[in-house]
């Protein structure tokens, strides 16, 4: 992608990710939401209710770093979850939320977390260079009150090492990264690992 202060490039990048994720079945119907933080601190966010496989420039709007809208319209209903992650980690530049069948089913089969251990593909996550470790992915109960859900996520993140993502039960995956490419890699790696976990527990 071009320079990260380029609004058009950010929208193009997220629209392309949406097409790919929809082709995989990871953002069915109007599910999912995506964002990029620009160099100027503004957040480019999908508008609420858009089909993520058919995004055009009109499907996005800008928020300030505190989540206040800078353009007309309604941002994703889950924008607060994105903003909370950007406020926590200044180095992250992209947040992707997907609703794949694997993430949905696995989140319903597990308790408060999913442990991913001894997989070579753990090396797809930034900062991991060996399979000889385990990561704990929290699973939060779903909530239509996004502020309340965000508060539970924040409390957990305050008390644990940073995971590469989290699951919301019966709902989907949130993951993030230092750029859109790294974040896409995290989605793909987690999808692979979720499938392995589901296959192993059949
Ligand atoms: C039809 S999916 C229900 C809402 C949701 O979970 C989601 O990810 C999409 O919400 P948005 O407001 O971002 O379109
Ligand atoms: Zn969702």
- pLDDT for 17 equals 99
Predicted-assembly ipTM surpassing the 0.90 threshold: yes
Please list, in sequence order, all residues whose beta carbon lies within 8 angstroms of the beta carbon of residue 2, skipping any fewer than 6 positions away. 8, 9
7-200 is classed in which CATH architecture? 3-Layer(aba) Sandwich (3.40)
Distance from residue 160's CA to the centre of ligand 2 (Å): 23
Residue 24 in marked binding region: no
Is the pLDDT reported for residue 1 higher than 50? no
- pLDDT for 68 equals 98
Question: Which residue out of 22, 55, 73, 78 has the highest number of ligand 1 atoms within 8 Å of its CB and is therefore the one to mutate?
Answer: 78
Residue 35 pairs with which residues in a beta bridge? Answer: 45, 95
Q: Ligand 1: which residues within 6 Å by Cβ?
A: 29-33, 46, 48-49, 76-78, 97
Residue 147 gets the label, from left (phi > 0), alpha (psi -120 to 50) or beta, of: alpha
Please list, in sequence order, all residues whose beta carbon lies within 8 angstroms of the beta carbon of residue 16, skipping any fewer than 6 positions away. none
Residue pair 167/190 in contact (Cβ under 8 Å)? The answer is no
Q: Could you state, in order of their start, the residue ranges of all structural domains in the chain?
A: 7-200
Q: What is the pLDDT of residues 92-106, one digit of tens each?
A: 999 999 999 999 999
């Amino acid at each position: 992608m071009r320079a990260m202060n380029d609004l058009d490039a950010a929208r193009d990048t997220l629209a392309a990710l949406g097409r790919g994720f929809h082709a995989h079945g990871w953002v069915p119907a109007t599910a999912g939401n995506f964002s990029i933080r620009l160099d100027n601190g503004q957040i480019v966010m999908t508008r609420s209710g858009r089909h993520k496989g058919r995004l055009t420039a009109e499907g996005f709007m800008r928020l300030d770093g505190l989540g206040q809208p800078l353009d007309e319209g309604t941002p994703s209903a889950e924008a607060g979850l994105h903003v909370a992650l950007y406020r926590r980690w200044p180095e992250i530049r992209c947040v992707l939320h997907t609703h794949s069948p694997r993430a949905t089913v696995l989140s319903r089969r597990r308790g408060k977390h999913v442990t991913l251990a001894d997989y070579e593909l753990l090396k797809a996550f930034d900062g991991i260079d060996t399979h000889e470790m385990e990561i704990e992915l929290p699973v939060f109960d779903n909530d239509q009150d996004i502020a309340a859900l965000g508060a539970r996520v924040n409390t957990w993140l305050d008390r644990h090492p940073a995971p590469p993502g989290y699951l919301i039960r019966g709902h989907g995956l949130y993951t993030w990264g230092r750029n859109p490419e790294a974040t896409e890699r995290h989605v793909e790696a987690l999808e692979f690992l979720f499938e392995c976990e589901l296959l192993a527990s059949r």
